[in-house]
Amino acid sequence: MLLNDRVVLITGASRGIGQGIARAAALEGARLVITDRRRHALEETKAMLETLKTEAIALEMDVTDEQQIASTVDRVQSQFGRLDGLVNNAGLFLPEPSLDATWKKTTMQFDVNVFGLLACCRAVGAVMKEQPNGGKIVNIASNAGKVGFPGYAAYSASKAAVINLTQTLAREWAEHRINLNAVCPGGVATPMLRSVAEDLAEKQGGSVDEIYNTLVPPQLGRHVRPLEIGQVVAFLLSDHATIIRGQSISIDGGETPY
Ligand SMILES: NC(=O)c1ccc[n+]([C@@H]2O[C@H](COP(=O)([O-])OP(=O)(O)OC[C@H]3O[C@@H](n4cnc5c(N)ncnc54)[C@H](O)[C@@H]3O)[C@@H](O)[C@H]2O)c1
């Protein structure tokens, strides 16, 4: 198995892609720390991990709360004595036409998607730096961070920042044996994609379900599944990915050809 006994912390693990990553990492033998801003929301993921007999702890952690991040990292240290992988998956999507964009929604998206992600990298990086084998970090960016989607300027820009941060930290922390990569999903069947459909239905009219069903990568002809994103992330957390550094890999069924 790719992640036998590795300890991996996942943010935003209560549903969607975070849940798919938890499942894929568990199937590859990882021990898991699943976190989300609401502890009770983690029950479903926790139950799924129990059926797989995966050693896991579920902790409330809002990525915009530095104290919660610090106490999570302390707890992981005391329980497992190591932290091999971090997946920065927690994300916020608040669509707004740019001309009407509010300061509040713009900064909220940057707080979670960029500053929260960076705070998690820093807290976990400090632990990994002291470990003989360093560690691996995978950031969940978006194809919106490469292309820039109309109507989603702040979200797209926040994901572009994730791509750039991943490049910078991969170069800066290589000397500490910490390897960072990002993935850029698109068209993944999750509640967030459903909120894209709801936004489009409100703007253009039409049925949310019908619009949701069109939000598929045309080359693939169906939604990407959260588990499929998780399988790529598990590979990037493994030793096989040691030679891949600072990359932002599109995993959107071919929609973004770079
Ligand atoms: N679904 C897609 O097609 C798609 C495409 C590109 C990128 N992404 C990215 O993938 C990641 C997961 O997206 P998803 O589609 O599963 O979304 P989702 O909305 O279904 O899940 C997001 C998760 O993040 C958690 N979260 C939000 N704010 C948080 C905070 N402050 N602290 C801790 N947890 C928080 C939520 O509780 C939830 O569990 C996000 O970063 C998103 O931007 C998704």
182 and 203 share one domain? no
- Residue pLDDT, tens place only, 20-73: 999 999 999 999 999 999 999 999 999 999 999 999 999 999 999 999 999 999
Chain centre distance of CA 24: 13
50 and 173 share one domain? yes
- Residue pLDDT, tens place only, 211-247: 999 999 999 999 999 999 999 999 999 999 999 999 9
pLDDT at residue 68, as a whole number: 98
129 and 209 share one domain? no
198 and 95 share one domain? no
Would residue 258 count as lying in a domain?
A: no
The domain total for the chain is 2
Our answer to whether residue 152 is catalytic in this structure is: no
Would residue 236 count as lying in a domain?
A: yes
Integer angstrom CA distances of residue 132 from 82, 85, 113, 121, 127: 10, 14, 30, 18, 11
Using the atom order of ligand 1, give the atom closest to the CA of residue 93: 43
Would residue 255 count as lying in a domain?
A: no
192 lines ligand 1 (CB under 6 A): yes
Ligand 1 centroid, distance to 60 Cα (angstroms): 15
Instruction: Provide the residue range defining the domain that includes 217.
Output: 189-223
Ligand 1 centroid, distance to 243 Cα (angstroms): 27
- Ligand 1 atom 40: the closest Cα is on which residue? 91
Q: Do the beta carbons of residue 95 and residue 151 sit within 8 Å?
A: yes
125 and 207 share one domain? no
180 and 194 share one domain? no
pLDDT at residue 240, as a whole number: 98
Q: Do the beta carbons of residue 187 and residue 193 sit within 8 Å?
A: yes
Would residue 195 count as lying in a domain?
A: yes
Would residue 57 count as lying in a domain?
A: yes
- Binning pLDDT at 50, 70 and 90, where does residue 109 land? very high
113 and 145 share one domain? yes
Ligand 1 centroid, distance to 36 Cα (angstroms): 10
Integer angstrom CA distances of residue 242 from 135, 146, 167, 178, 233: 10, 24, 15, 10, 13
103 and 202 share one domain? no
Would residue 54 count as lying in a domain?
A: yes
Q: Do the beta carbons of residue 230 and residue 24 sit within 8 Å?
A: yes
Would residue 2 count as lying in a domain?
A: no
- Ligand 1 atom 42: the closest Cα is on which residue? 91
- Residue pLDDT, tens place only, 126-159: 999 999 999 999 999 999 999 999 999 999 999 9
182 and 92 share one domain? yes
How much of the chain exceeds pLDDT 90, in percent? 100
* Mean pLDDT taken over the chain: 98
53 and 108 share one domain? yes
11 lines ligand 1 (CB under 6 A): yes
Which of 152, 155, 212, 258 is the catalytic position?
155
135 and 193 share one domain? no
Ligand 1 centroid, distance to 14 Cα (angstroms): 9
- Ligand 1 atom 13: the closest Cα is on which residue? 17
The CATH number linked to 97 is 3.40.50.720
145 lines ligand 1 (CB under 6 A): no
Would residue 257 count as lying in a domain?
A: no
146 and 32 share one domain? yes
